[in-house]
Amino acid sequence: MFLENTKKSGCIELICGSMFSGKTEELIRRLKRAQFAKQRIATFKPTVDKRYSDLDVVSHDSHSISCTPIKTPSRMLQIDPDVQVVGIDEAQFFDDSIIGVVQELADRGVRVIIAGLDTDYLGKPFGPMPGLLAIADDVQKVHAICVRCGALANFSHRLSDSRKLVVLGEKDTYEPLCRDCYNKAVKEDKEG
């Protein structure tokens, strides 16, 4: 006798990498595929991210999907029980409470797809990302192309003099660099 498995299986998928590596583009692609499959989705981003739109997650290539901007990750736990997929953009801007929130969502049977910078402009692990990497069922590291030499880029080099950890910006504020070009740029920044 065949018994249909009706249990919802949750999981945590993490998309990480440097600026301009296609993290948000991949998040949007996965969410739109879920919509195409007639799955109910809910998408969130931190309220601090207002670069392109207040109410949409928008990639550098101008693809978008509607979202709910939130201040604290606990807000995600209030989703409708019928939601099957939760998307989260710019996860590095949330505090560490996001780790427990996404675990709870996955334990409820929700597929959670997260995108975020794995390192900050200093090349150090960014916010809750190390904890999210540790609990993710699947991790995809995406790469930009180094604007100086054409190699794969893993680093987001800040072009401004600001020393604040969070500085929202685009190509006028950051450039993707490979390890060698990043180390040279940091050395030039210190000398200059």
Model pLDDT for residues 39-90, shown as the tens digit of each residue = 999 999 998 876 666 666 665 666 667 789 999 999 999 999 999 999 999 9
Which is catalytic among the residues 13, 26, 90, 175? 90
Answer positive or negative: Cα dihedral of 84, 90, 91, 95. Answer: negative
Taking residues 8-13, what's their average pLDDT? 90
Q: Encoding tokens for residue 128?
A: 């809750």
Domain map (residue ranges) of the chain: 11-143
User: What does the pLDDT read at residue 2?
Assistant: 46
Question: In the annotation, is 26 catalytic?
Answer: no
Calculate ∠ Cα 177-181-182, nearest 5°: 65
150 against 57, higher pLDDT:
150
Cα distance between residue 142 and residue 152, in whole Å: 9
Q: Side by side, which strands form the sheet with 85-88?
A: 68-70, 41-46, 85-88, 111-117, 11-17, 138-142
The beta strand positions in the chain, using DSSP E, are: 11-17, 41-46, 56-58, 64-66, 68-70, 85-88, 111-117, 138-142, 144-145, 152-153, 155-158, 174-177
169 against 38, higher pLDDT:
38
Look at residue 173 and tell me whether its pLDDT is greater than 90: no
Q: Which of 43, 13, 11 is nearest to 110 (CA)?
A: 11
> What confidence tier does 169 reach under pLDDT thresholds 50, 70, 90?
low
Q: Please provide the average confidence, as pLDDT, over all residues in the chain.
A: 89
> What confidence tier does 1 reach under pLDDT thresholds 50, 70, 90?
very low
Taking residues 7-12, what's their average pLDDT? 83
Taking residues 102-116, what's their average pLDDT? 98
CATH topology assigned to domain 11-143: Rossmann fold (3.40.50)
Q: Which of 77, 62, 142 is nearest to 112 (CA)?
A: 77
User: What does the pLDDT read at residue 43?
Assistant: 94
Q: Encoding tokens for residue 49?
A: 């991210």
Question: Do residues 96 and 128 touch, judged by C-beta distance below 8 A?
Answer: yes
> What confidence tier does 36 reach under pLDDT thresholds 50, 70, 90?
very high
